Structure 1
């Protein structure tokens, strides 16, 4: 066979015969692969081939195939977001399979400058692409993907089914590993019990080679993700838990193959297949836990996010989950648009930064389409819903990368820290033991080296964290505390200082007594007040809105809300001002600090609404439970009216700061972090968005009026604020459980390493210790987290 016939395509790896195209000192199987190579080279993307060998796919002939994407109505159904300038589409790419795929797909902006962002979801094999639809279009994006070998799968028949592509590969891998494990165990029994009948001696080689055959699909198919992960992380010159796992699997397989090839023993095929089976089983349980959690964390589950529905000229609060197509909805200032729909009344200025990352508000007028995820800025608008809420979309929004771009990323998880030390430790023990045996008995050195790598495989460590933290996240969610992810739960245990907002956080919004002081106000005044407050979501605005009797709905011609200060509005030639005394320039009085909303109409001061604050039940006990372990502080946008009361109410020397604007709160947290303090901020999620995002752990309290707050890392039901110390204590016990699991795993490893280092490792010992450690760790963490959860009584 000649050289030409044996050449592989540099791009896709297919054989080049009979059409070997040679260019750039490389061989290509067709002009399509050559063209892709040229595209990557011309755009400085040739390092695509450095990440994986022959990672590409031969691009198909597509001329005219995607002409249907020229039709606006089809594009409208496919895109997730469209404001006339920016479109976002999520495409299923079946060919995504390695780190090279991720790298090239997340660098599409280098191939098309009108693509601003692309993000790959590797497990789902999807890529979310954001592009400027004024300068390019979906057809051009799809053609680009296809031209570089990543043709998307687009089906107009099932595109409305959110779960049309289910990745069952993990289930298949578990099936393969489980089948192989069961058969290898049966074939190993005669070896375990040293049966010496004639049939064993006669068929022993057959049994051993059968075990080898069963192990092949386990190593090269079921366990391939561990090798890919280890290889990818090594290229970044870092260490993770998959490296010793991959080493252990590879060593088990190689040593076992050598043993049966030279009739040195039966190998460790039972331990190998069992190890992979239990690891994959743990990954499956973890995946199912996360899927279940993502459902529990959906906004329909943990509190009824309210939206105002207009029906027969009356307003009523309904759950977002109850929205139906055709419902007429009122969206106030700073409220999230919960569903796609049509703007009916009002002038919309919509902040889509939570979706696109662009901070510039988009202007919309009556008849325009508006999309879920945008936040109205300005006066209230009325819209008609086009469809019901898609829960998965809101959950995806909360986890969107745009929300975490500004969050400090210096935190390392416990597993990250352990992984590095464990990997270094295992390799050190293996190396030192090998050197010692080279001096004592060189023939045993290789045996000892491989034995250490086999027995020290960290399967138990890899399972302890996801099982413990996953169970705690689920248990916390059942009790009204919803954390975004495992990292947030771990950060809960590393806090030095807890900062509380006052209004809407320590105070109870729905139990405040309101009195009016000033000139008498007419029904016209009440109409103006009611319709102005109708647009606002500030806690005081909502209380005063419900305090005033129902009035006729009027059109607000102009509206401005100044966070932490007040509201300006123009209605029927009336210029209304509501807010603090300084904001409305109220007449100077003797110092009388109180929580009040002042009212001015056409530059004429009318009076003020005074709020007598009611604090949440259990707040005093909450502070006294926390004061010994944490530095505490209160930041309030209100005046000093309740300072004397708070000083008696709260632990002595608790810092109290009043008249704090949103940026003041954020700057205070920055200053504390500069002092190496880990900060937890608890606020109502409205004026506190910046502070919540800046803090190491931001917790938004939820009550009756719920505004989407992507800045937070957790949401706590306001009724359960007093349980915060119990949640923190439970998180600490969860970390302690993980550490105990690590100790148990360490003890297993010490026992196993004794046999390995002394050259006494037998297959039966490995077969017992490896699965026993995994099963016992999973059982221990499950029982302990259940016990921890029982201690949190609502």
Structure 2
């Protein structure tokens, strides 16, 4: 049927020579049986068909093994229990339903946690095996597993609209689309099949003239032993295995073409806030400047002042220091230059303000001073922490001779300090989205290869769209996720380095597969034409060749541990 469909579309596919071989052998055998004279090839047809079907069965089984791990929704429960005790199927879940997730149960849809806390394992989405602590109001994603006590959540998206469902659709699209390399290979395979058919005809005519009883068998062997399927599987098998392995580590590749571009990347460009850093300020140090108040008292006053501000630093301090409550500070108002807050508490004027706001810095730390009646009483040092894995990833890319550049919109960051702090080759600060695009275009003209961009914010979307290879964190802005070719579902930077190694390994395996397919056909076709291979042995050779190609491709799912490890920071 495959050969007939190929012929209907005027295309010489890999099934055409196989179908011609089986059909010709069977037809000649039937005619000779009716005539009662001549050779019959029923035994060869039976053995050939057996080995062909066995090979294709093993081939399909191997390919399924490479793709089955990319189906994140396969473990969703069939039914879920609502808060009121009723039950619904997963398909019937709608937004605002409140459902119960039992212990060791799988979350059926995206939603918001309405229980006090929960411990959820998101390994199927992020590749990280450790359970994450969630508290009231945190997002919970479909496909996650509850590793703590039962909890309740409010559904925000149906199962087929969940984050995991979108990832699955992206993954399926990447696996089924045909990239430029595969299109070229298919064209070569088309001409290869035509050459095989001509070779089979020439072989038949030669043996018919010199030794007629060898003519049909040798021609059949040529048709059977040729392996355009190994050539056609060389690239997609390796790419499918790579996509599968990457998805298990929290990398979603939306376009298989990007694997080819990654091999040629010479320059990596990073956004700073939210990409190399978490974008979330953390109180790292407390320094008392007066012995009149305890830390708890000062924390309460800080929260009493900062809870009235929407500044990211104020929100961070309020979130981290509010566990013990807050003081009832009165007449709270922002400072004239909006560098802090002021208010009255117990008859005294309290001011909290950033004291290093005018010093150019890498913006990784900020010092916040608390004053009472103009006298400093304490300082809080806040830092924008490194994203987990950022240091080691930059170091490994640098070790492989990649050029590293930072493009940031932070106007307070000093390029020299950024270059030293992140150990990169260059840094450009205070850039608007348009200026980021212009700077990227300049880098592309100077780069020895392709340029990759990693970002996460709304202002990164234009520059991501201009990069040869674009990566964004799934936790980032929607527009940047849509612009990126690769989504990093994990919160860590380590998958970026793994992606580089995966693309290199995929490239090597594709070259190995193509080389093997060419060498195999260069040896086997002349041998078959010379009458050295019977059709049944040719069938074994063809099936074995295809299996070797796919088996070699499956190595792309695993990465060997590095010989020169670089410590992975928390």
TM-score normalised over the length of structure 1: 0.46
Shift in alpha-carbon separation, 1:753–1:589, aligned structure 2, 3 A: closer
| Superposition pairs of residues 118-157 of structure 1, within 5 angstroms | none
SS where residue 639 of structure 1 aligns? coil
User: What's the CA shift string for 1:499-556, capped at 9, x where partnerless?
Assistant: 1111122224567447899xx9876642322xx46xxxx8x78745534526999xxx
- In the alignment, the residues of structure 2 paired with residue 577 and residue 398 of structure 1 have an alpha-carbon distance, to the nearest angstrom, of 47
Matches within 5 A, 1:588-603: 592-593=360-361, 595=363
Cα distance change of structure 1 residues 785 and 338 upon mapping to structure 2, 3 Å threshold = closer
Preserved contact between residue 408 and residue 431 of structure 2 (Cα < 8 Å): yes
In structure 1, what is the equivalent of residue 22 of structure 2? 253
Q: Give the superposition deviation at 1:252.
A: 2.1
Distance 1:455-1:675 versus aligned 2 partners, 3 A rule: farther
Contact (CA 8 Å) 1:472, 1:789: kept in 2 or not? Answer: no
- For structure 2, the residue ranges without an aligned partner over 5 or more in a row are 33-38, 77-103, 123-133, 143-152, 288-298, 341-353, 369-378
Corresponding residue of 1:456: 226
Change (3 A) 1:541 1:260: farther
Kept in 1, the 8 Å contact 2:415–2:426? The answer is no
Q: Which residue of 2 aligns with 1:771?
A: 543
Residue in structure 2 matching 1:270, options 47, 63, 68: 47
Between the aligned partners of 1:385 and 1:787, the Cα distance in structure 2 is: 38
Counterpart in the other structure of 1:419: 186
Partner Cα separation in structure 2 for residue 577 and residue 396 of structure 1: 49
Residue 655 (1) aligns with residue 432 (2): no
Tell me the CA shift for residue 744 of structure 1.
2.4
Which residue is equivalent to 1:698? 470
CA contact (8 A) 1:461 1:741 kept: yes
Q: Do structure 1's residue 395 and structure 2's residue 175 form an aligned pair?
A: no
Q: Structure 2 residue aligned with 1:732, among 478, 496, 504?
A: 504
What are the within-5 Å matches in structure 2 for residues 24-43 of structure 1? none
Count of residues paired in the alignment: 460
Distance (Å, rounded) in 2 between the aligned partners of 1:284 and 1:656 = 49
The CA deviation at 1:429 is 5.2
SS of the residue corresponding to residue 276 of structure 2 reads coil
Partner residue, 1:528: 308
CA distance in 2, matches of 1:707, 1:317: 26
Structure 1 pair 678–412 and aligned structure 2 pair: CA distance change class (3 A): farther
CA offset digits 1:620-668 (Å, max 9, x no partner):
554343245433321112135342223234557x231212334544554
1:590–1:740 Cα change, 3 Å:
closer
Report the CA distance between 1:753 and its aligned residue.
Answer: 0.4
Match 1:643 to one of 408, 412, 415: 415
Q: Does 1:549 align with 2:322?
A: yes
1:696 CA drift (Å): 3.9
Where does residue 493 of structure 1 map in the other structure?
263
- Does the aligned pair in 2 maintain the 1:298–1:391 contact within 8 Å? no
C-alpha deviation, 1:764, in angstroms: 2.9
Taking the TM superposition and a 5 Å limit, the aligned residue runs for 1:627-638 are 627=398, 628-638=400-410
Taking the aligned partners of 2:263 and 2:546, their CA distance within structure 1 comes to 26
Q: Report 1:606-621 matches (<5 A).
A: 611-616=382-387, 619-620=390-391
Quote the Cα distance in structure 1 between the aligned partners of 2:51 and 2:161. Answer: 36
Does the aligned pair in 1 maintain the 2:253–2:487 contact within 8 Å? yes
Contact 1:434 1:448 in 2 (8 A): no
The corresponding residue for 1:295 is 72
2:169 & 2:251 partners in 1: Cα distance? 20
The answer on 1:428 being equivalent to 2:195 is yes
Structure 1 residues 432 and 667, CA gap change in structure 2 (3 angstroms): farther
Distance 1:731 1:386, change over 3 A: closer
SS of the aligned residue for 1:505 comes to: helix
Per the alignment, residue 63 of structure 2 pairs with 286
Determine the C-alpha separation between the residues in 2 that align with 1:618 and 1:727.
14
3-state secondary structure, aligned to 2:413: helix
Distance 1:785 1:616, change over 3 A: same
Superposed, which structure 2 residues align to 1:1-400 within 5 Å?
Answer: 220=1, 224=2, 228=5, 230=6, 234=9, 243-263=12-32, 264-266=39-41, 267-287=44-64, 289-295=66-72, 309=113, 385-386=154-155, 390=159, 393-398=162-167
Q: Is the 8 A contact 2:182 2:235 kept in 1?
A: yes
Question: What is the deviation of 1:498?
Answer: 1.6
Q: Distance in 2 between matches of 1:576 and 1:257?
A: 93
Question: 1:717 aligned to 490, 498, 511, which one?
Answer: 490
Query: What is aligned with 2:147?
Result: none
Contact 2:283 2:380 in 1 (8 A): no
RMSD: 5.5
Higher relative contact order (CA 8 A, sep 6+): 2
Give the CA deviation at 1:457: 3.1
Matched with 1:503 is 273
- SS of the equivalent of 2:559 reads helix
Deviations 1:9-55 (A, max 9, x none): xxxxxxxxxxxxxxxxxxxxxxxxxxxxxxxxxxxxxxxxxxxxxxx
Distance 1:259 1:398, change over 3 A: same
**Conserved in 1, the CA contact under 8 Å of 2:259 and 2:503?**
yes
